[in-house]
Structure 1
Amino acid sequence: MNKKALGKGVKEERKKLRLTQAELAQGICSQALLSHIEAGDYMSAADIFIGIYQKLGISELQANLKNYFPMSQIEKLSQKSEELCRQHQYAELRDFLLLDSTIDAISEEGLQAYYYYLGVSQAQLGQLNEAQENLRLALVDQKKLTIISRLSWMSLGVISAVNHQEKQVEEYIEAAFQDLEKTSYDENLNVLYYLRAVIYKKLEKNKLALMTLEKGIQFISEHNSHYMLANFYYLAALLVENDKSRAYFSKSQLFTELYKEKVFDKI
């Protein structure tokens, strides 16, 4: 959902409730900021939107589909692959990618995305050797460090963590985060911090995992995004105990409800 659509929706709901901008903004943000949001001029931080939605009584939002990685001139093929991946339907994704009709439709420019999606699906299904092979193919002849390159490095890092290969893990993390601060922001970059935290959890370095999640949440907020926050808070809840854990679970559930983000609970 883009800024204009979000702003229009907020304005319409506010008017239905006969609230002034000042009344809706009270305790959440300034009236001026709300005015910019309604005009579609500003995409605010997720916590501000949550406050606005709760005050308006909005419990359900349209899922916010991110840009999928094109791997074919056939747009629907790329979109289906991305949707299956985001919905964690990895068996269906793998089988779809191995269809002759899918393979025949892959463009040369789309090979990297193809091998990445195939590698991720195989890794999630426990086919680690096949996954490593395809993720490495996604990195072949790549002169430029793309988002898919970074995600492929991190996915290889997760597999290495499962195999307790700590030296390789650090090399993969370093490759994935190289010059990240100089890279144009894309919401798929949020995943890098999540995967890094998963790696540390698998290596039983929970303190490092939690620190990584906190940095990732800050990274997401700085870019006025909400993508992956439900998963960040869910993973954080697994790393702490008692009240802190319950607080993180509560935040994860809230973001899941608001943005319909599917939480990966098999970590």
Structure 2
Amino acid sequence: WETSFGGKLKITQEEIASGICTQGLISRIEKGEHIPSADILYKIAKKLGLDVNYFFHYAETPSLTYIEEVMYQVRKSIRERSYHEVEEIIKIEMKNPLFQTPTFKQFLLWHKGICTYYIQADIEKAMSLMQEALNLSETGNNAYSEREIEILNSIAILHSEVGQHKRAIETLEKAMVHLENLSCKKDVHIEIRLLYSLAKFLSFEEAYADSIQHCERGSKLCLQYESFYLYGELTFQHGYNLMKLGQKKEAIVYFCKARSIFQLQNNSDFVSYIDEEMSYLS
């Protein structure tokens, strides 16, 4: 990268930018006027044929900023189910000295476990990696942090994926106890995530009335925090439980409400799914 690295890499800004971003953004990065995201940094490194750690010798960005960018990119890609992309990031960062502290290594192991299941379908290895991540807890098994509670949620989801719904429910109940014992809760969405997972898995076990209770509790939190986060999913799950209990008219009310929420969120896939469910009721 000629202007930033003393002419070691003979490539123009336009060539670097092609397929990644604008030439203007590359110029701003070189001048130190813009901090690139982890995603852009990876793409630049790949185009230049470099290990991403090469940039650390030249970067003025604080290490913590880079770590935060990587963690953001990993979480974003997990939400988008881009597991191969996450796998590539983790493979690189596992060698990065910045990620060797227990806290950051735990983050990588957690997501490596998720990717191992969804890419390789290896549930035993995935669970082993998740447990290895939990073993890096700095507070011990008696007092988990918010992240460790989220790891428990991921473990529960994998149990459910292989049909172990009762074990999933037991894991989530354990996570709820840890959450209740936290003196300071920074992420208000964790409890909503746990309640939604519990509601789903209880439905799988045909415990529809219990599932409805968790849906109602999660929905109240969404309203309390003025957040649409999982509100549509909780509303749909509530309707699904009512449908299974034979309360079709009430179920349609919740399905219609969930459909409106997903329309506002431009979630066309869920809107289509609800339309399909409602067609069975009409």
TM-score category, normalised to shorter length: 0.5 to 0.7
Matches of 1:97 and 1:137, distance apart in 2: 19
Cα gap change, 1:158/1:76 in structure 2, threshold over 3 Å: closer, same or farther?
Answer: closer
Task: Show CA shifts across 1:41-85 (max 9, x none).
Answer: xxxxxxxxxxxxxxxxxxxxxxxxxxxxx9984333222111112
Match of 1:247 among 249, 253, 268: 253
Deviation of residue 110 (structure 1)?
A: 1.2
Displacement of 1:169 in angstroms is 4.0
- Which of 121, 138, 141 is 2:136 aligned to? 141
- 8 Å contact kept, 1:139–1:152: yes
CA distance in 2, matches of 1:138, 1:211: 32
**How many residues align structurally?**
193
SS at match of 1:141: coil
Aligned to 2:259, the other structure's residue is in SS state: helix
After TM superposition, the score normalised by the length of structure 1 is 0.60
Partner of 1:95: 87
Runs of 5+ in structure 2 lacking a partner? 1-62, 274-282
- Number of the residue aligned with 1:194: 196
**Cross-structure match for 2:185:** 184
- Amino acid across the alignment from 1:145: Y
Q: Deviations over 1:180-225 (max 9, x none)?
A: 3444251331211111122212333222222211111112222332
Q: Distance in 2 between matches of 1:165 and 1:232?
A: 18
Structure 1 gap segments, 5+ residues each: 1-69
Residue 172 (structure 1) aligned with residue 171 (structure 2): yes
Q: Say whether the 8 Å CA contact 1:220–1:226 is kept in structure 2.
A: yes
By relative contact order (CA 8 Å, sep 6+), the higher-ranking structure is: 1
Percent identity reads 15
AA in 2 matched with 1:229: Y
Q: Which of 52, 65, 79 is matched with 1:86 structurally?
A: 79
CA separation in 1, counterparts of 2:254 and 2:136?
A: 41
1:116 aligns with 2:75: no
Q: What does residue range 1-267 of structure 1 map to in structure 2 within 5 Å?
A: 73-87=66-80, 89-99=81-91, 101-105=92-96, 106-108=99-101, 109-124=103-118, 126-142=121-137, 143=139, 144-161=143-160, 162-164=162-164, 166=166, 168-169=167-168, 171-181=170-180, 182-189=183-190, 190-241=192-243, 242-260=248-266
Indicate the SS of the match to 1:148.
helix
Shift of residue 140, structure 1, vs aligned partner: 0.8
C-alpha distance in 2, partners of 1:211/1:217?
Answer: 10
TM-score normalized by structure 2? 0.57
1:245–1:163 CA distance, 2 compared to 1 (3 A): same
The alpha-carbon distance between structure 1 residues 165 and 82, as it changes in their structure 2 partners (threshold 3 A), is closer
| Cα displacement (A) at 1:98 | 4.4
The structure number with the bigger radius of gyration is: 2
